[in-house]
């Protein structure tokens, strides 16, 4: 169908991953942190798809499906926790959760 | 040829959209940008010869997971005060450290990728990418990866039960719980 | 009879142990009987053994009791060695000791601790006998330490007075310095000769390095100096007078302080190989006898005068040893025991009569009040100043004559000895005049004190011996070699007598109390009274720095290291805990930074 140098694909993966990481580290709002983690997960999924395309095998997509399930479960639980968090401390500032300090 | 250009375009859309997600102050806007990013990635999947993955990305990821996000955001009921607070939290100082660190990491990873001498059977250009269609994926899923599928279903069940339990309304027995607005 | 030699030290030891175990259950009469009786038995036995020894020609006799330390190659036996030297010492210890114990029974009568007193006294006699009878240096050291211990116990006998305990500690610590030197010397001897058996060392033909022998001998001299209260370890003797007077008589006049003299005499073959040391010994003796004489002139406590006098006379013995006149030195030891014990016991009677008052300026006119006691005092003092015919005369003459001719001594030391004789005469007659003549400075009534026979009878043999003891001829030829009679011009032989006479006249002029005497209080006399500043010097030199160190180290420098370890860990914790601030993003950042670093490192090395 097309021919893209495979390094470019992986560079894209790295780029997306990095962006997700920046968001994870800089944002205080837990919701945004979750979103950044989604971006990172997607980057990982892309890497697998690239590998599958490289080897012309379906295994990449299978792994992609598993990643999908993981993302789904994680988001479900994460959002539930976020709701709890909001009830507990009023806003979603993750820096307020520092009782394990010292 | 056109496939190449399409791939690069989708890739840049994905990257840009992700950037917007990360730097946004409004949660709903960020979510929408995230959806755009996911759709762009679906495009990339298709162009890489993985139509089934592309379809799943759109249906499940963008269609279900993101919708879940949107529902949650609606429950949070964000108002202008929240947006202002976000603005307050997002000073340029909070970007410096992470950006530097991430650039270092990015540099290292890119260096590793670029310095690879041979990519298996492929050289820098590949003649033809065949489609790996749903049939192939299905036969794998019911074959070697059967156990993985079962475990994935466990995972989803756990997520379901956990999600229900965590978000359940607490019995109103004491006032010690964190006050809700 | 010779085989019963071991009984001589055994009697006092058994008596001591019995008195210790039955503490508090015996009546005072029984205690005295046991304490004095054991000494009496030992003395009589000594006499019998001595007679038999003389009859049999005087060959030395060994008696091995048992094998004490079975070490391969250097096995140590517990054995006794009898020759003229140890016989004379034994006789002095048991004989004079018996008289002193008898006197002490009367002196300490009524004291509630009299049982403890006799335990210590008998133990002391046992230790002293072991010192002189032991056939190896280990047994000698056993006795040495034993007498040191008993001296400490007896000086501080009246424990309730803190000063006594301080004096006892001082005595022990100062002699300890000497004892340590002696121990090192013994170890050097052991390493050189392979054994500490005296005969083995003395008759050994092993070639020993001269420097090691020199070192060992000088250390032995150090030990002797400590025990005999000579320069520079003499500071303890005047303070040791804090003990009861019989203790001063026995330990600090007749026996323990002569242990140093015995040691050098016993090991004289070793010393003859390093004659330079004998010169040093002579000088030590000479300097001490002058120093002590000067100090005695400034004292006002009767016992301290006698203490300095003892120090001075032992200086004479050291002088004799240094002049290679070992037999003369031992002879003087014997006669000194007689008249010094007599003097101390007489002083004890005076002190008792004065209700434990020891200041001579508060006495006076005792010739009228206590005629018998004063006569004894006079006799003792005449023997001390070597009045012609008394025992002291013969012994002191022998020493001074030998000093003039010896090649390790010589005329300089002889002149110092003569000066010493002058000083002896001066302070002795000062004592006599102030105490016995002049107006009575006290308020004693005549009928206050009846001298009981118990106080007088023990003194009679001592008086007799002080007078005629000079005529006892001691034959040390089998120990020290044939006796050497120096031939000297007449004026040298009679010079000491002449200066003694000069001293008498000067004392008459200065000290005969025409009116009430006051102790002089100038700077010089205070300096002399305090032992010519030695106490002050030692305190500045040793005590104060040690106390300073103790104060600095009060918080224990070594502990600081361990505290530092703990403190370091705590501070490290305080620093590191800052990084544990509970914020998730910080942790994430840290993890990723670590990853970046590791990845970077890996990439660098590939």
Quick check: B105 and C603 CB within 8 A? no
Residues of chain C positioned with their CB less than 8 A from the CB of A102:
577, 580, 582
Question: With a CB-CB cutoff of 8 Å, which residues 30-89 of chain A face chain B?
Answer: 31-32, 34-36, 38-39, 42, 45-46, 49-50, 52-62, 64-66, 68-77, 79-84, 86-89
Residues of chain A positioned with their CB less than 8 A from the CB of B136:
57-58
pLDDT band with cut points at 50, 70 and 90 for residue C512: confident
Across C189-203, C505-519, C590-604, least confident range: C505-519
Mutation choice for A interface testing from B2, B23, B48, B141 by most A CBs within 10 A? B48
Residues of chain C positioned with their CB less than 8 A from the CB of B104:
596, 600
Query: How many angstroms separate the CA atoms of C430 and A7, rounded?
Result: 121
**ipTM metric:** 0.91
Contact C245, C303 (CB under 8 A): yes
pLDDT band with cut points at 50, 70 and 90 for residue C445: low
- pLDDT tens per residue, chain B (181 residues)? 677 888 999 999 999 999 999 998 888 999 999 999 999 999 999 988 899 999 999 999 999 999 999 998 888 887 788 788 878 778 888 888 899 999 999 999 998 888 876 665 554 444 456 788 888 899 999 999 999 999 999 999 999 999 999 888 777 765 554 444 4
What the block records as the tokens of C193 is: 């000769």
Cβ-count burial of B81 within 10 angstroms (0-12 exposed, 13-18 middle, 19+ buried)? exposed
DSSP 3-state of C595: helix
* Higher pLDDT among residues B3 and A43, named by residue: A43
Q: Tell me, what's the pLDDT at C586?
A: 87
Residue A99 at interface with chain B, using a CB cutoff of 8 Å: no
Residues of chain C positioned with their CB less than 8 A from the CB of A95:
583, 585
Give C402-441 as a 3 state SS string. Answer: HHHHCCCCCHHHHHHHHHHHHHHHHHHHHHHHHHHCCCCC
What is the sign of the dihedral through the CA atoms of C263, C266, C271 and C272? positive
pLDDT, tens only, C25-62 = 878 888 888 889 999 999 999 999 888 888 887 777 88
DSSP 3-state of C149: helix
Span C543-558, average pLDDT = 83
Query: How many angstroms separate the CA atoms of C591 and C37, rounded?
Result: 93
Residue C595 at interface with chain A, using a CB cutoff of 8 Å: no
Backbone angles phi and psi of C81, in degrees to 5? -130, 125
Tally of CA atoms within 13 A in the half-sphere of C44 that contains its CB? 6
Q: What is the least distance, in Å, from the CA of B36 to any CA of chain C? A: 27
Quick check: C584 and A21 CB within 8 A? no
Residue with token string 């006479």: C501
Which member of C589, C593, C596 has the closest CB to residue B108?
C596
Comparing alpha-carbon positions, the chain A residue that sits nearest to C578 is A102
Q: Tell me, what's the pLDDT at B179?
A: 46
Q: What is the least distance, in Å, from the CA of B69 to any CA of chain C? A: 22
Residues of chain B positioned with their CB less than 8 A from the CB of A66:
148, 152
Q: Which of B34, B44, B137, B37 is nearest to A65 (CA)?
A: B137
Query: How many angstroms separate the CA atoms of C104 and C117, rounded?
Result: 9
Residues of chain B positioned with their CB less than 8 A from the CB of A6:
119, 122, 126
Comparing alpha-carbon positions, the chain B residue that sits nearest to A30 is B27
Residues of chain B positioned with their CB less than 8 A from the CB of C595:
105
Residue C69 at interface with chain B, using a CB cutoff of 8 Å: no
Q: Exposure pattern of C165-204 as b/e (b: 16+ CB <10 Å)? A: bebbebbbebbebbbebbebbbebbbebbebbbbeebeeb
Give, in order, the Cα–Cα distances in Å from B28 to each of B14, B22, C14, C443: 18, 12, 109, 121
Contact A71, B61 (CB under 8 A): yes
Tally of CA atoms within 13 A in the half-sphere of C521 that contains its CB? 4
Span C258-272, average pLDDT = 89
Which member of C582, C585, C592 has the closest CB to residue A100?
C582
Residues of chain A positioned with their CB less than 8 A from the CB of C580:
100-102
Quick check: B108 and C593 CB within 8 A? no
Comparing alpha-carbon positions, the chain C residue that sits nearest to B97 is C589
Mutation choice for C interface testing from A30, A95, A96, A97 by most C CBs within 10 A? A95
Residues of chain A positioned with their CB less than 8 A from the CB of B95:
22, 26
Comparing alpha-carbon positions, the chain A residue that sits nearest to C575 is A102
Would you tell me how many other CB atoms lie within 10 Å of the CB of residue B45?
28
Q: Tell me, what's the pLDDT at B159?
A: 92
Span C333-337, average pLDDT = 91
Q: Name, of A31-45, C230-244, C411-425, the range with top average pLDDT.
A: A31-45
Q: Which chains touch B (3 or more CB pairs under 8 A)?
A: A, C
Quick check: C583 and A98 CB within 8 A? yes
């Amino acid at each position: 169908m097309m021919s893209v140098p495979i390094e470019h694909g992986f560079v894209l993966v790295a780029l997306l991953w990095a962006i997700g990481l920046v968001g994870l580290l800089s944002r205080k709002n837990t919701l945004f942190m979750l979103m950044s983690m989604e971006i990172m997960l997607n980057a990982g999924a892309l890497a697998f798809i690239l590998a599958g395309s490289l080897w012309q095998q379906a295994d990449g997509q299978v792994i992609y499906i598993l990643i999908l399930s993981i993302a789904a479960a994680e988001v479900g639980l994460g959002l539930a926790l976020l709701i709890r968090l909001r009830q507990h401390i009023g806003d979603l500032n993750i820096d307020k959760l520092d009782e394990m300090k010292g | 040829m056109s496939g190449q250009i399409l791939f690069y375009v989708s890739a840049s859309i994905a990257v840009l959209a992700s950037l917007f997600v990360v730097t946004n102050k409004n949660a709903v806007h960020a979510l929408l940008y995230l959806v755009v990013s996911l759709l762009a990635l679906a495009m990339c999947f298709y162009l890489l010869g993985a139509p089934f993955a592309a379809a799943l990305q759109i249906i499940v990821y963008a269609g279900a997971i993101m919708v879940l996000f949107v529902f949650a955001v609606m429950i949070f009921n964000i108002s202008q005060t929240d947006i202002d607070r976000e603005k307050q939290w997002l000073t340029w100082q909070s970007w410096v450290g992470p950006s530097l660190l991430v650039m270092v990491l990015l540099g290292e990873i890119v260096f590793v990728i670029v310095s690879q001498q041979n990519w298996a059977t492929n050289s820098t250009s590949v003649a033809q990418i065949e489609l790996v269609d749903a049939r192939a994926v299905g036969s794998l899923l019911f074959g070697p990866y059967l156990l993985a599928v079962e475990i994935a279903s466990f995972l989803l069940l756990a997520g379901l039960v956990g999600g229900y339990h965590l978000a359940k309304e607490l019995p109103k027995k004491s006032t010690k719980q964190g006050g809700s607005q | 009879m010779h085989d019963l030699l071991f009984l001589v030290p055994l009697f006092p030891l058994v008596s001591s142990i019995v008195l210790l175990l039955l503490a508090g259950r015996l009546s005072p009469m029984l205690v005295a009987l046991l304490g004095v009786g054991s000494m009496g038995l030992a003395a009589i036995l000594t006499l019998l053994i001595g007679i038999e020894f003389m009859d049999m020609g005087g060959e030395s006799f060994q008696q091995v009791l048992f094998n004490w330390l079975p070490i391969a190659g250097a096995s140590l036996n517990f054995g006794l060695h009898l020759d003229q030297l140890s016989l004379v010492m034994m006789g002095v210890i048991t004989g004079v000791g018996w008289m002193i114990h008898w006197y002490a029974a009367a002196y300490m009568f009524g004291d509630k601790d009299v049982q403890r007193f006799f335990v210590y006294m008998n133990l002391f006699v046992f230790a002293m006998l072991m010192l002189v009878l032991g056939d190896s240096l280990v047994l000698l050291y056993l006795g040495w330490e034993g007498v040191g211990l008993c001296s400490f116990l007896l000086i501080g006998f009246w424990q309730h007075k803190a000063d006594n305990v301080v004096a006892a500690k001082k005595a022990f610590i100062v002699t300890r310095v000497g004892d340590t030197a002696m121990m090192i010397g013994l170890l050097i001897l052991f390493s050189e000769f392979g054994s500490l058996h005296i005969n083995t060392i003395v008759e050994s033909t092993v070639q020993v390095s001269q420097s090691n022998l020199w070192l060992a001998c000088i250390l032995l001299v150090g030990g002797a100096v400590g025990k005999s209260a000579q320069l520079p370890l003499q500071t303890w003797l005047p303070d040791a007078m804090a003990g009861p007077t019989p203790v001063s008589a026995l330990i600090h006049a007749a026996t323990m302080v002569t242990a140093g003299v015995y040691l050098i005499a016993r090991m004289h073959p070793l010393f003859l190989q390093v004659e330079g040391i004998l010169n040093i010994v002579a000088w030590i003796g000479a300097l001490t006898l002058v120093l002590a004489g000067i100090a005695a002139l400034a004292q006002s406590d009767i016992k301290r005068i006698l203490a300095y006098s003892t120090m001075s006379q032992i200086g004479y013995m050291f002088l004799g040893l240094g002049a290679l006149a070992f037999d003369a030195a031992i002879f003087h030891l014997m006669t000194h025991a007689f008249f010094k014990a007599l003097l101390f016991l007489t002083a004890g009677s005076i002190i008792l009569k004065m209700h434990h008052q020891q200041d001579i300026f508060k006495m006076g006119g005792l010739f009228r009040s206590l005629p018998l006691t004063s006569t004894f005092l006079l006799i003792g003092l005449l023997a001390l100043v070597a009045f012609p015919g008394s025992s002291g005369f013969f012994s002191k003459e022998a020493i001074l004559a030998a000093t003039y001719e010896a090649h390790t001594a010589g005329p300089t030391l002889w002149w110092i000895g003569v000066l010493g004789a002058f000083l002896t005469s001066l302070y002795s007659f000062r004592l006599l005049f102030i105490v016995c003549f002049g107006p009575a400075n006290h308020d004693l009534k005549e009928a206050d004190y009846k001298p009981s026979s118990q106080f007088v009878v023990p003194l009679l043999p001592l008086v007799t011996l002080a007078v005629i003891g000079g005529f006892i001829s001691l034959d040390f030829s089998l120990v020290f070699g044939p006796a050497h009679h120096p031939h000297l011009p007449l004026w040298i032989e009679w010079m000491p007598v002449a200066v003694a006479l000069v001293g008498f006249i000067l004392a008459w002029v200065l000290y005969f109390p025409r009116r009430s005497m006051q102790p002089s209080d100038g700077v010089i006399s205070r300096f002399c009274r305090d032992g010519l500043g030695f106490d002050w010097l030692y305190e500045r030199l040793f005590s104060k720095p040690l106390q300073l160190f103790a104060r600095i180290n009060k918080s224990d420098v070594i502990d600081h290291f361990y505290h530092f370890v703990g403190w370091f860990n705590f501070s490290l914790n305080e620093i590191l805990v800052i990084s544990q601030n509970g914020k998730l993003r910080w942790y994430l950042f840290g993890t990723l930074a670590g990853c970046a670093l590791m990845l970077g490192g890996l990439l660098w090395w590939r």
